[in-house]
């Protein structure tokens, strides 16, 4: 198993946001996390690279094993963890730097200084993110001049450059137009061969199009977790049924 | 429109008109008197002559602004060398490292520095800093009046301007940029210096320029501790006279109202005005041109 979450609880101060979630994820699969706003799906995603550590008064309990290692144990180097578990955010968040420097950033902060290696890696990452052809002639231009969809693919390239094995995506297409969205979805499908992907989405079609497995969260609990096809065609819980058919959420 | 609304509107208009008229009044006096000064002293001499001695007898009079500007730039440069590195470091600490508790305590205390009367700073520089440096480094040969001590103290005075405004700029950088950097495995330090500072650069530059124009216009500290001998020097151990110091001393001295000496203060004042106006415009332009807009 690539990821094993065992009875994960998250507290923001007094709020008990995640109430004992356990699930396992296989290598090179796409897992969709769905559920209404505030159900804890993003919180769960952010446990995977310990992004919640950045929030004051946030406590995480339970075990999360990645490749069998408990990521919350004191011996884990958080920077190494985040290098191995890449993340793409809801809104494109390129740095105020050139396109090239955005992708090279992760390499540079991890101490890579070999110019040739960085050049190759940037090109490789941009190709992986299906952005190379659109930007290869303007790598020195500011990343902020790109369109929203391009910026998001740049952020994916940026995450891929440090060679993570897991890619977390927090509603990666929610701020994008339909064409950009379909490009991102195609990309997710292609990236699956090399990465284990976890994606939070509000979009049922997106979940069913892109993922192998789907987890439905409600009020901080994992209600149902199954193969995507099964969950969408033959859900076992009534709440799941109601949510995916749009009766609430 | 209702009558009362009209009254209120005209009152508000009158208020804004008052400030505009005041500005126009001050500028026209400056321009008018400066023009009269330049009828006697060629502008070229004013800008290039390396001596400033308006109070000497006629045949030895020199009207070169350079020594005064040298004094102003020297003290300002020293102040900026103190305020900019220290101010940005403090801003980074407060915005990226300090807990909200520490931040809420330290920031107001820092801002108290800005509310200390400059005359107190002046005496502090003269009566404490200069003797201290003289004692610690007797080999320096520091003059009792010098550019170094008031420069350092001026740097401390403008420190909150840099640290506070820079901290605001750093703090305004969206959280998602920080998260983006941390998610790449970057450390706090790398995030602060490679992502947050570049993203806040326009705000930081604005804070530096505002501090700069404050230092250029600062009067009391240098008037007390820097001396009153116009010298074209960049040696911080010497005494210098800044443009502002010159104006204070001339206004307080007994100069005839219509003499050329009297008119010099307008010419010097005009020079200062042009410099600060330029600086403020640069900061305005920087803000407009380089501000990153995040939606």
Q: pLDDT at position A137, please?
A: 95
Chain A closest CA to B176's CA: distance in Å? 6
Residue A56 contacts B, CB cutoff 8 Å: yes
Of A83, A144, A155, the CB nearest to B185: A83
Vertex A72: Cα angle to A66 and A73 (nearest 5): 100
Model confidence band, residue A151 (pLDDT cutoffs 50, 70, 90): very high
Least confident of A203-212, A240-249, B135-144: A240-249
Of A95, A108, A158, the CB nearest to B177: A95
Q: pLDDT at position B293, please?
A: 58
Mutate to test the interface with A, among B180, B187, B189, B200 (most CBs of A within 10 A): B180
Residue A163 contacts B, CB cutoff 8 Å: no
Q: pLDDT at position A164, please?
A: 94
Model confidence pLDDT, tens digit, residues B77-128 = 999 999 999 999 999 999 999 988 999 999 999 989 989 999 999 999 999 9
**Cα distance between residue B151 and residue B78, in whole Å:** 5
Structure tokens at B224: 């007390």
Helix (H) or strand (E) holding A197: strand A196-200
**Cα distance between residue A50 and residue A60, in whole Å:** 9
Of B183, B199, B292, the CB nearest to A51: B183
Give A158's contacts in chain B (Cβ within 8 Å).
180, 184
Q: pLDDT at position B228, please?
A: 87
CB atoms within 10 A of CB A81: 19
**Cα distance between residue B184 and residue A161, in whole Å:** 9
Q: pLDDT at position B294, please?
A: 54
Q: pLDDT at position B295, please?
A: 43
Q: pLDDT at position B292, please?
A: 60
Q: pLDDT at position B23, please?
A: 95
Contact state of B182 with A158 under an 8 Å Cβ cutoff:
no
Contact state of A93 with B177 under an 8 Å Cβ cutoff:
yes
Q: pLDDT at position B256, please?
A: 82
Mean pLDDT for all residues in chain A: 93
**Cβ(B82)–Cβ(B155) under 8 Å?**
yes
Structure tokens at A104: 């090279």
Contact state of A82 with B199 under an 8 Å Cβ cutoff:
no
Contact state of A95 with B187 under an 8 Å Cβ cutoff:
no
pLDDT higher than threshold 50 for residue B268: yes
Chain B closest CA to A77's CA: distance in Å? 10
Model confidence pLDDT, tens digit, residues A197-241 = 999 999 898 999 999 999 999 999 999 999 999 999 999 999 999
Please give the torsion angle defined by the CA atoms of residues A172, A177, A180 and A182, in that order, rounded to the nearest 10 degrees: 80
Contact state of A86 with B183 under an 8 Å Cβ cutoff:
yes
What separation in angstroms does the CA of B140 have from each of A231, B30, B230?
82, 41, 21
Chain A closest CA to B199's CA: distance in Å? 6
Q: What is the pTM of this model?
A: 0.84
Residues of B within an 8 Å Cβ radius of A: 99-100, 174, 176-187, 190, 194-195, 198-199, 292, 295
> Can you list the domains of chain A with their CATH numbers?
3-244 (3.40.50.300)
Q: How far is CA A46 from the centre of its chain?
A: 9
**Which of A 190-249 lie inside 8 A of B, CB atoms?**
none
Q: pLDDT at position A249, please?
A: 57
**Cα distance between residue B31 and residue B37, in whole Å:** 10
Structure tokens at A213: 């497995």
Burial class of residue A113, CB neighbours in 10 A (0-12, 13-18, 19+):
exposed
Model confidence band, residue A109 (pLDDT cutoffs 50, 70, 90): very high
Give A144's contacts in chain B (Cβ within 8 Å).
292
What separation in angstroms does the CA of A8 have from each of A18, A62, A64, A65, A193?
7, 4, 7, 11, 28
Chain A closest CA to B277's CA: distance in Å? 30
In 3-state terms, what secondary structure has residue A115? helix
pLDDT higher than threshold 70 for residue A166: yes
Give A105's contacts in chain B (Cβ within 8 Å).
181, 184, 186, 194-195
Model confidence pLDDT, tens digit, residues A62-94 = 999 999 999 999 999 999 999 999 999 999 999
Backbone angles phi, psi at A34, to 5 degrees: -125, 170
Q: How far is CA A40 from the centre of its chain?
A: 14
Give A87's contacts in chain B (Cβ within 8 Å).
179, 183
Residue A172 contacts B, CB cutoff 8 Å: no
**Average pLDDT value for residue range A110-126:** 94
Q: pLDDT at position B247, please?
A: 92
Give A169's contacts in chain B (Cβ within 8 Å).
none
């Amino acid at each position: 198993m690539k990821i094993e979450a065992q009875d994960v609880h998250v507290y923001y101060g007094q709020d008990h946001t995640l109430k004992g979630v356990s699930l396992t994820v296989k290598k090179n699969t796409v897992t969709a996390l769905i559920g209404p706003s505030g159900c804890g799906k993003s919180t769960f995603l952010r446990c995977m690279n310990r992004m919640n550590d950045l929030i004051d008064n946030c406590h995480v309990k339970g075990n999360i094993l990645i490749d069998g290692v408990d990521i919350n144990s004191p011996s884990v180097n958080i920077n190494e963890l985040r290098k191995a578990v890449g993340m793409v955010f809801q809104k494109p968040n390129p740095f105020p730097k050139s396109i090239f420097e955005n992708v090279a950033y992760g390499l540079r902060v991890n101490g890579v200084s070999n110019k040739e290696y960085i050049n190759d890696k940037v090109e490789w990452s941009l190709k992986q993110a299906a952005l190379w052809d659109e930007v290869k002639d303007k790598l020195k231009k500011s990343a902020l001049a790109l369109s929203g969809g391009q910026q998001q693919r740049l952020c994916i390239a940026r995450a891929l450059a440090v060679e993570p094995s897991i890619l977390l995506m927090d509603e990666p297409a929610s701020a994008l137009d339909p064409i950009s969205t379909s490009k991102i979805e195609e990309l997710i499908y292609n990236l699956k061969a090399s990465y284990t992907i976890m994606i939070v989405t509000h979009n049922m079609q997106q979940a069913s199009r892109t993922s192998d497995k789907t987890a439905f969260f409600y009020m901080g609990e994992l209600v149902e977790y199954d193969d995507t096809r099964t969950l969408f065609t033959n859900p076992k819980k009534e709440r799941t049924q109601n949510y995916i058919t749009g009766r609430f959420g | 429109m209702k009558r009362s609304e009209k009254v209120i509107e005209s009152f508000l208009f009158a208020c804004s008109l008052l400030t505009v008229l005041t500005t126009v009044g001050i500028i026209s006096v400056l321009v008018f008197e400066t023009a009269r000064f330049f009828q006697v002293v060629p502008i070229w001499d004013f800008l290039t002559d390396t001596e400033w001695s308006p109070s000497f007898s006629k045949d030895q009079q020199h009207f070169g602004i350079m020594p005064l500007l040298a004094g102003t730039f020297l003290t300002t440069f020293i102040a900026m060398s103190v305020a900019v590195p220290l101010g940005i470091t403090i801003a980074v600490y407060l915005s990226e490292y300090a807990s909200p508790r520490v931040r809420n305590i330290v920031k107001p205390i820092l801002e108290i520095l800005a509310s200390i009367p400059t005359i107190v700073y002046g005496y502090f520089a003269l009566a404490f800093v200069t003797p201290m440096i003289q004692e610690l480094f007797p080999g320096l040969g520091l003059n009792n009046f010098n550019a170094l001590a008031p420069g350092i103290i001026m740097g401390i005075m403008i420190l909150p301007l840099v640290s506070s405004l820079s901290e605001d700029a750093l703090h305004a950088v969206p959280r998602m940029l920080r998260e983006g950097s941390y998610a790449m495995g970057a450390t706090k330090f790398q995030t602060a210096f490679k992502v947050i500072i570049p993203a806040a650069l326009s705000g930081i530059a604005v804070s530096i320029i505002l501090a700069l124009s404050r230092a250029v216009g600062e009067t009391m500290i240098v008037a007390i501790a820097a001396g009153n001998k116009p010298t074209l020097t960049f040696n911080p151990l010497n005494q210098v006279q800044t443009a502002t110091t010159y104006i204070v001393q001339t206004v307080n001295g007994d100069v005839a109202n219509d003499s050329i000496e009297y008119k010099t203060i307008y010419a010097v004042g005009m020079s200062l005005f042009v410099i600060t106006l330029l600086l403020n415009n640069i900061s305005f332009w920087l803000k407009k041109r380089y501000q990153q807009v995040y939606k």
